[in-house]
Amino acid sequence: MAPYTPTVLPRSTSPRPLVSALRATPRSQVLIIGGGINGVGTFRDLALQGVDVALVERGDYCEGASGASSHMIHGGIRYLENGEFRLVHESVVERNRLLRIAPHYVKPLRTTIPVFTTFSGLLNAPLRFLTHRSGKPRARGALLIKLGLALYDAFSREGGSVPRHRFVGRRRALAELPRLRPDVKYAATYFDASVHNPERLTLDVLRDGLEANPAARAVNYVSAVGMHDGAVRLRDKLTGEEFDFAADVVVNATGAWTDRTNSALGAETDYMGGTKGSHIVLDAPELLAATGGREIFFEHADGRIVLIYPIGDRVLVGTTDIDAGQDLTPVCTEEEVSYFFELIQHVFPGITVRPDQIVYTFSGVRPLPRHDDTAPGFVSRDYRIERSARSDSDPVRLSLVGGKWTTFRALSEHLADSVLRELGIPRRQSTAELPIGGGAGFPEGLAARREWIASHLPGLADARAEVLLERYGTRAEEVASFLAEGPDRLLDSTQELSVRELAYMAQREQVGHVVDVLLRRTSLAFRGLVTRKMVWEVAEALAPHLGWDSERVHVEVQDAEHTLADLHGAVVSALNPAGAAPGEEGAVTSEGAVNV
Taking each continuous run of H as one helix and of E as one strand, the counts in the chain are: 18, 18
Q: pLDDT at residue 365 above 60? A: yes
Predicted local distance difference test score (pLDDT) of residue 493: 96
Give the least confident one: 338-342, 379-383, 523-527, 551-555: 379-383
Give the least confident one: 312-321, 468-477, 479-488: 312-321
Which CA distances in Å does 550 have to 10, 214, 534, 556?
Answer: 12, 36, 17, 10
Cβ-based neighbours of 470, under 8 Å, separated by 6 or more: none
Name residue 218's beta-bridge partners: 55
Mean pLDDT of 5-22: 71
Predicted local distance difference test score (pLDDT) of residue 10: 59
Q: What is the pLDDT of residues 158-170, one digit of tens each?
A: 655 678 889 999 9
User: In this structure, how many other beta carbons lie within 10 angstroms of the beta carbon of residue 428?
Assistant: 9
Predicted local distance difference test score (pLDDT) of residue 378: 55
| pLDDT, greater one: 524 or 165 | 524
Q: pLDDT at residue 343 above 80? A: yes
Predicted local distance difference test score (pLDDT) of residue 576: 35
Which CA distances in Å does 394 have to 57, 97, 131, 246, 247?
Answer: 21, 38, 40, 9, 9
Q: Report yes or no: 311 and 340 within 8 Å, Cβ to Cβ.
A: no
Q: What is the pLDDT of residues 224-236, one digit of tens each?
A: 999 988 999 999 9
Predicted local distance difference test score (pLDDT) of residue 577: 34
Residue 433 is classified by DSSP as T
Q: Dihedral sign for Cα 64, 66, 71, 72, please.
A: positive
Q: pLDDT at residue 195 above 90? A: yes
Q: Dihedral sign for Cα 94, 95, 96, 100, please.
A: positive
Categorize the per-residue pLDDT at 223 as very low, low, confident or very high, splitting at 50, 70 and 90. very high
Categorize the per-residue pLDDT at 5 as very low, low, confident or very high, splitting at 50, 70 and 90. very low
| pLDDT, greater one: 418 or 372 | 418
Pairwise CA distance, residues 542 & 538, whole Å: 6
Q: pLDDT averaged over the chain? A: 86
Q: What is the pLDDT of residues 265-295, one digit of tens each?
A: 999 999 988 788 899 999 999 999 999 999 9
Cα 169 → chain centroid: 36
Categorize the per-residue pLDDT at 368 as very low, low, confident or very high, splitting at 50, 70 and 90. confident
Identity of residue 124: N
Cβ-based neighbours of 225, under 8 Å, separated by 6 or more: 233, 234, 235, 242, 264
Q: Report yes or no: 286 and 350 within 8 Å, Cβ to Cβ.
A: no
Q: What is the pLDDT of residues 16-51, one digit of tens each?
A: 899 999 999 999 999 999 999 999 999 999 999 999
Q: What is the pLDDT of residues 45-68, one digit of tens each?
A: 999 999 999 999 999 999 988 988
Q: What is the pLDDT of residues 89-132, one digit of tens each?
A: 888 999 999 999 999 999 999 999 998 887 554 444 444 444 44
Predicted local distance difference test score (pLDDT) of residue 325: 73
Residue 565 is classified by DSSP as I
The DSSP string of 507-531 is HHS---SHHIIIIIISSTTTTT--B
Give the least confident one: 285-294, 367-376, 461-470, 574-583: 574-583
Give the least confident one: 117-131, 344-358, 454-468: 117-131
Q: Dihedral sign for Cα 169, 170, 171, 177, please.
A: positive
Predicted local distance difference test score (pLDDT) of residue 22: 95
